[in-house]
Amino acid sequence: MYGNLTLRPEDIENWGKKVHEEDPEKLAEFEARIARGEKIEPQDWMPFEYRRQLIRLIEQHAHSEIIGALPEGTWITRAPNFRRKLALMAKVQDEVGHAQLLYSAAETLGKSREAMINDLLSGKSKYSNIFNYPAKTWADTAIIAWLVDAGAIINQTTNSKGSYGPYVRALERICWEESFHLKYGYDSVVYLATGTPRQRAMLQDALNRWWKPIMHFFGPPDNQSVHTEKLLKWKVKLATNDEMRQQFLDMYVPKIWELGLSIPDPNLRKNPETGRWEYSDPDWDEFWRVINGDGPCNKERLAVRRFAEERGRWVREALRSPQARYVTPLA
């Protein structure tokens, strides 16, 4: 589960400063290949900035998968029945498996898995902001599995048309598994929505709390800069954040309304003239504040990861073979 690649102001600032001189002939050939719809493979020539942005994108995506398993994972012990517990365990296992696929894809670009985990633990690398919010009730897990995974599918399906071969292949496998998450999530939501008044109230409460993070999910509106243009041209980014947010609203607002739930935004409506959704400003200040560490669960999420790495360390060390040799994955 992952939102979209978000360009932070400092990325844009640094872009021009550390211009990497590229061979114009190779660059033209590279861009022509992408324009023809060819995939770029790990051993191919690629511009420095393409490699850098892809590592950042795929690494963030991988971190989002393992951190994303935490809010739902806390509910495994308290699932309402055995079937729901099994389904939730399967889903959480999927998310961790997705992280494995994505770390491998990022490694093909030259950053080791250990380096990526170190950057996650130190806070240098980011993950999807939405996982810095708590899952307070069982209904939260239903909303996450339905709507957050729906957002992730839109994002991942879009990215799976990208130019980097290993990432595209990982995403194809991931999207296929996520389709179970969406069905499972929708089933859980419908079950609560058709339940007792208390169950309905719990579901509405969860939706109220998750709506803002869901609106943040695809990232702030892209500034129309040459950098965004270049990422679109290189097929690192395939759609702007707003395009994906509109697609999400188109697909899911009617389904939410169908359940008799209300969306906590009085200004939300589809403008019949423009065909676009209008909504209240979802408080981008909060988005940046939480990304930069000041969210309800940032510390806790990293603490659990640090706990897992540190407490698992001796086991990994005991299993490790002295003859082991690291080789970058091939494809």
Partner 1 sequence: MASLDPRIRRAEPELWQLPERPLQPLEHWQTYEVFTLRTRGGHAQHVGSLHAPDDEMALVLAKEQFARRSPCVAIWVVPTSAILWTRPEDEDLFQPATDKSYREPQGYLHTRERLEKYRDRLKPIDP
Residues contributing to the site for partner 1 (CB under 8 A): 41, 43-45, 70, 74-75, 77, 93, 97, 100-101, 104, 107, 112-115, 117-118, 121-122, 134-136, 169-170, 173, 176-177, 296-297, 299-300, 303-304, 306-307, 309-310, 313, 316-317, 319-321, 324-331
Nearer to partner 1, 19 or 327 (CB): 327
120 and 97 Cβ atoms separated by less than 8 Å? no
Q: Which is nearer to partner 1, 62 or 244 (CB)?
A: 62
Q: Are 188 and 202 in contact (CB under 8 A)?
A: no
The minimum distance between CB 8 and partner 1, in angstroms, equals 22
Least distance from partner 1 to the Cβ atom of residue 79, Å: 13
Query: Which letter, b or e, does each residue of 39-54 get, where b requires 16 or more Cβ atoms within 10 Å of its Cβ?
Result: bbebeeebbebbbbbb
The DSSP annotation for 91-139 comes to: HHHHHHHHHHHHHHHHHTTT--HHHHHHHHHHT-S---GGGGS---SHH
Instruction: Give the phi and the psi of residue 269 in degrees, each rounded to 5.
Output: -165, 155
Nearer to partner 1, 88 or 256 (CB): 88
Residue number with CB closer to partner 1 (26 or 161): 26
CB of 90 to partner 1, least distance (A): 9
Least separation in angstroms between residue 44's CB and partner 1 is: 6
303: helix, strand or coil: helix
> CB of 35: closest distance to partner 1 in angstroms?
19
Which one, 188 or 241, has the nearer CB to partner 1?
Answer: 188
Chain centroid to CA 263: 23
